Amino acid sequence: MTLIKTLLGKTPAFGSNCYLAENATIIGDVIMGNDCSIWFSAVLRGDVHYIKMGNKVNIQDGAVVHATYKKHPTNIGNNVSVGHNALVHGCTIKDNVLIGMGAIVMDDVTIESNTIIAAGAVVLQGTKVEGGCIYAGVPAKKVKEISPELLEGEINRIAESYVMYSGWYKEEQ
């Protein structure tokens, strides 16, 4: 059963049609939109500041979403995929973004819409990531602009797929 924990008077809130894996952990001041999914061993810790997520957000297996005490909340827009074992911390991620597997997005980062952060990338504190681009490397740098085909074929496809996958799991419950 998903660990959903009230802390300091704050209880996580969920939109409609969300899927929460049995061993996901969601604590404190977390607000989630509709059609979201939180996968196995993912942790959303809204203990030191809030975490707000839009619609069709998937936080994949082993990912961690946190914030910085009284300083940097975490805001995630709509149609966002946070890949396996990624770390998202005290930042703003706008709409239609893919955070690749194992990527790290640090405090006070803003990722504009229609962007891919490549697997294993490290987006350093305070970075302003340009929209419509792919950022990769350590530290993450712009490597190219995203074509409409890549936007549809990766960012939108993955977000839609995770809504479908979560439906499979909800049917089995």
For residue 172, pLDDT beyond 80: no
| CA–CA distance, 36 with 140 (Å, rounded to integer) | 27
In CATH, what number is assigned to the domain containing residue 163?
A: 2.160.10.10
Residue 48: inside a domain, yes or no?
yes
Give, in degrees to the nearest 5, the angle at Cα 77 between 93 and 154: 80
Helix (H, G, I), strand (E, B) or coil at 169: helix
- The number of folded domains in the chain is 1
Record the tokens describing residue 158, joined without a space. 């993955």
The average confidence (pLDDT) of the chain is 96
Residue pLDDT, tens place only, 31-55: 999 999 999 999 999 999 999 999 9
Residue pLDDT, tens place only, 139-158: 999 999 999 888 888 999 99
Residue 69: inside a domain, yes or no?
yes
Residue 25: domain span? 3-168
Percent of the chain with pLDDT strictly greater than 70: 99
Predicted TM-score of the model (pTM): 0.97
DSSP strand pairing (80-82 vs 74-76):
unpaired
Residue 173: inside a domain, yes or no?
no
